[in-house]
Amino acid sequence: MDAPKNGLFSWNELMSTDVEASRKFYSELLGWTAKEMPMPTGTYYVFHAGEQQAAGLMAMPPQAKGIPTYWGSYVTVADVDALTAQAARMGARILVPPMDVPGVGRFSTFQDPQGGVLSVITYSPRTG
Strand-pairing partners, residue 51, are none
Count of structural domains within the chain? 2
Domain match, 20 and 66 both: yes
Strands (E), the chain: 9-16, 33-39, 42-49, 52-59, 70-76, 93-101, 105-111, 117-123
> Are the beta carbons of 60 and 15 closer than 8 angstroms?
yes
Here the CATH number for the domain that contains residue 28 is 3.10.180.10
- Which is higher by pLDDT, 101 or 55? 55
Domain match, 32 and 82 both: no
**Total-model pTM:** 0.84
pLDDT at 128: 42
pLDDT reading at 16 higher than 70: yes
pLDDT at 67: 86
Residue 8's domain comprises 1-76
pLDDT at 127: 47
For range 99-103, the mean pLDDT: 89
pLDDT reading at 31 higher than 90: yes
